[in-house]
């Protein structure tokens, strides 16, 4: 990894990738933040609002306002989670609250069942490709806004 991909940035991406599942009390992040997860699970349906682009935009705007690469990295991780879930059989409602339809990968061969082997293979390949692209094109500079 290049020096531009700091531990702090990677931590932000990792944290952001967990946040969409905060509305599931038994998820990895939900078990650790039960005081937040339980109320969220009563307010939001899973793969509802927290699985839409709206929180990503809000987090990214906050990162710009606070001039925080860490917060913008959280937004990137959040976005990557949503992209990954778009490959699931059920898809996600990308544009809630404005559009209430599930959007999923149109090519069925690329879709996976949540928790299945195919999901983890696609995840691993995606992470490798992402890291190579970030290094090759210095994409982390996009977050220096």
- Quote the pLDDT of residue 132: 78
Residue 1 resides in a domain: no
Question: Span 19-28, mean pLDDT?
Answer: 94
In a domain, 20, yes or no: yes
In a domain, 98, yes or no: yes
Q: Is the pTM of this model over 0.75?
A: yes
Note whether residue 139 is domain-resident: yes
**pLDDT tens per residue, range 28-62:** 999 999 999 999 999 998 889 999 999 999 999 99
In a domain? residue 12: yes
The verdict on residue 2 lying in a domain is no
- The answer to whether residue 117 sits within a structural domain is yes
What's the domain range around 16? 7-144
Q: Is the pLDDT of residue 2 over 60?
A: no
Of 5, 8, 6, 119, which Cα lies nearest the Cα of 74? 8
Could you report the per-residue pLDDT of 83-138, keeping only the tens digit for each? 988 888 888 999 998 999 999 888 777 777 777 888 788 778 877 877 777 677 66
- Name the domain count of the chain: 1
Residue 129 lies in a domain: yes
């Amino acid at each position: 990894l290049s020096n531009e991909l700091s531990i702090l940035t990677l931590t932000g991406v990792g944290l952001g990738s967990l946040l969409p599942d905060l509305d599931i009390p038994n998820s990895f992040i939900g078990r650790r933040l039960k005081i937040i997860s339980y109320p969220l699970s009563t307010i939001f349906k899973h793969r509802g609002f927290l699985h839409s682009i709206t929180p990503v935009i809000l987090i990214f705007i906050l990162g710009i306002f606070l001039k925080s690469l860490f917060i913008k990295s959280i937004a990137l991780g959040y976005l990557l989670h949503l992209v990954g879930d778009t490959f699931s059989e059920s898809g996600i409602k990308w544009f809630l609250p404005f559009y209430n339809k599930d959007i999923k990968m149109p090519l069925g061969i690329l879709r996976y069942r949540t928790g299945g082997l195919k999901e983890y293979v696609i995840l691993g390949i995606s992470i490798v490709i992402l890291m190579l692209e970030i290094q090759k094109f210095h994409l982390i500079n996009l977050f220096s806004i």
